[in-house]
Structure 1
């Protein structure tokens, strides 16, 4: 049984939500998002909140129950507060800078990596070794962060590369004489 799925998601103040079939649309101060929920769950609007229930007792329906409830919650959080992901760049000469609609990152390759910033995502570099990705869609923010990290993931010997803020890098000992 899903524990999180049993809780209804309250619609925050300042957000308008409407349900059309399996599509939930939310509009708030940060923007508008929509979510198409799977057919395995039943979605209802009740007294200023959204309730998600499984359609039947199959394993997939019970799996999608909690997932769908969390997606609805993230939808409301996105249009009210938004999401943010921080990346840290570690290494001598490794740096990042936003130039127009591109993120230019020097990661020790022969040329700088130029990453075009997708629509709906804002990237800022407060320091040359720090990249802050923000937006209203949690999935998109996480995907952009993962793509930037994939250019040079942190290596285990010196820890050089692009890592999430707060990520622990398992360090290895170098070879001995």
Structure 2
């Protein structure tokens, strides 16, 4: 059985001349990635697709041990199929320490977060690593649920995707209102 490795590469800010690598997912640099590139990498990595294709804003995959504790990977794209966000979901029930474990896992590879808000023992927590090229890594725990997410994102593409989703919902509501008004 081939061992799959979770690949997160970053720009290492170190000594002059140190090699740098873009933020990547399964070998695909994410800053300018397309849906076709990311879907190909997911298929090659052996992830099980739950929902995949251009008719969806998010592709959803089952994670089979590629990242310990994660159950699902959601990958979002803009209307023109540009990468926006990859979000791992770490389900939890009343495990307030889970967010610390995930922050430490990311910290081991990328160093301390650029910013962190919230108390890890109670309430909402967000840790953010800002990477060159405008890319970000975020670990977020909501509250009262302790499920934690680890996101790799292109903030500008993520904002574009969210605006496109909102516009599509507004258009559907307008269409439904027009259809309803014809009924009476």
Q: Is the TM value for this pair above 0.5?
A: no
Higher alpha-carbon Rg: 1
The structure that is helix-richer by fraction is 2
TM range (shorter): under 0.3
TM-score by length of 2: 0.24
